[in-house]
Chain A
């Protein structure tokens, strides 16, 4: 079945540690996105990539980094520079400007 997978579902991290969230899709989509969701707020775009080996900052990129070495994969690293990393992170992909398909999300908690 085609879809987007994110792992892990729940992630705990100590302050000062970097952590990488996985996102894989087998939909053959060129575009992939990372969003952050906080209670009472709309999803906010962290980074997006429209093609392999290229990515662009979104609205809240500070403290995050990404790579896009393969079409299927778009991992997000939450660095120690991110001041408030506890949130729900969603990955999505699309074929161009078509409907975005979302993964199940990763809930990151910093202890």
Chain B
């Protein structure tokens, strides 16, 4: 079993829909990251959080440390949100462990 599991693996949505991507992990962590990878391959960090909730524009990330679960929400989705979204947990000692990613496609 992978230490970081993401669901769903693939997600297709219509423009304007509310999107949720889930991440569950099995190890103790100091922080959790949500990353975005565009088709060209470059990765951008969206959020780093260790508790509660963070919001940036139409993106919201939440984490429940007790349940070892995090969600990434996208409100009013747009085709430009189409990308791979990656959850990564930082174990103690600064090591990042990555999920396999969720491929999101938003259709207009």
Give me the interface of A with B, judged by CB distance under 8 Å.
31, 33, 35, 40-45, 50, 88, 90, 92, 94, 96-105, 107
Contacts and interface: CB of A to CB of B under 8 A. Distances in A.
Contacts of A31: 94
Interface of B: 2, 4, 30-31, 33, 35, 40-45, 48, 86, 88, 90, 94-101
Given A42-B86, A104-B40, A105-B41, A99 B33 contact: yes
Nearest to A38: B100
B95 A42 contact: no
For the complex of A and B, the 3 pairs showing the least CB-CB separation, nearest first, are A42-B98, A102-B43, A105-B41
Nearest to B94: A97
A20 B41 CA distance: 19
B40 A42 contact: no
A43 B86 contact: yes
Contacts of B30: 97
Contacts of B99: 42
B44 A102 contact: yes
A104 B96 contact: no
A24 to B, nearest CB: 15
